[in-house]
Structure 1
């Protein structure tokens, strides 16, 4: 069901309702949240305001991890979601958002991209694994 982000039905000072003086606009439509989880790579392309398009990542197993020690980006597999400060429920469900701490083969990394808007998982290594051959 479409969610509307509109304010055409305001209230008067007296508390009474004002009638809408125009129709709803297409750009005022919203949508349900699509949560990015671990799994086979799956993306959804949606139309956004102005006719442009946006890639929404529904699930992925890989992340582009930046290693600050040798200044390289390595595409590596995600083993799991360690923590998610955005929402403790996301942590339990394994939802990937910006700021989530993920476990990779290289070590723990913090997600720096917005998978729901960018369509890709980028991360920065915060602790290297003891046995990582870097």
Structure 2
């Protein structure tokens, strides 16, 4: 899925051809968003700019929960309560940054980006 740099399909007002100022670059390419859901852990890795590797989550069933006493506990996710990013995400149960999750330890808010970081970190809500 490539995005064009500029509209070259139309001609100039003088009737001449349009020439691009530059060619298309690898970082101009779009891709579909990686939306994490609840389920057995499945990760995907992809190559990004400068030959770096980025790990993303497709599905996850545990969250690294930061407790008020400065300890981190691995807790099972029960369901997605709300997602302010998109009302459709809330209905479908997509986990993204800022989503409120119901866990075995209580309600928590996601502070990581699961589709980009490959992990779900959250803080416990009071």
The equivalences for 1:1-134 within 5 A come to 2-4=1-3, 7-9=5-7, 18-68=18-68, 70-127=69-126
Q: Equivalents in 2 of 1:52, 1:73: separation in Å? A: 28
Q: How many equivalent residue pairs? A: 123
Q: Equivalents in 1 of 2:109, 2:62: separation in Å? A: 14
Q: Equivalents in 1 of 2:30, 2:42: separation in Å? A: 21
Q: Equivalents in 1 of 2:119, 2:2: separation in Å? A: 25
- Structure 2 unaligned residues grouped into runs of 5+: none
After superposition, the CA RMSD in angstroms is 2.2
The answer to whether the 8 A contact 1:8-1:22 is kept is no
Distance 1:3 1:97, change over 3 A: farther
